[in-house]
Amino acid sequence: MSSIEDLQEQIHELQSKLAFQEDTIEHLNKMVTKQDDIIRMLERRFMHLGDKIDDIRSQLPDKPFNPADEIPPHY
């Protein structure tokens, strides 16, 4: 094989690798963007649940909950 053919083969191999890497980068970028959207949604839901917990706590009596005072449901 001549050196020109070797160079052409190497160029073709590099082009194939570059195309694969570009595809992989695009796929990973879409995945990261989707995960970022999910994280932001979960953060909003977490904050909303925190607000609900605070509302419930504000409605509870001042006496702390003591599990020993509770009767188990099977009695």
What are 49-70's pLDDT values in tens digits?
A: 999 999 988 887 777 777 777 7
DSSP state letters, 17-70: HHHHHHHHHHHHHHHHHHHHHHHHHHHHHHHHHHHHHHHHHHHS-SSPP-GGGS
Neighbouring residues of 9: CB distance < 8 A, sequence distance ≥ 6: 1
pTM over 0.85: no
What residues does each domain of the chain span? Answer: 25-58
Nearest-angstrom CA–CA distance, 27 and 60 = 49
Tokens 């020993």 sit on residue: 68
Work out the mean pLDDT of the chain and round it to a whole number: 91
Q: What is the pLDDT of residues 14-30, one digit of tens each?
A: 999 999 999 999 999 99
pLDDT score recorded for residue 75: 59
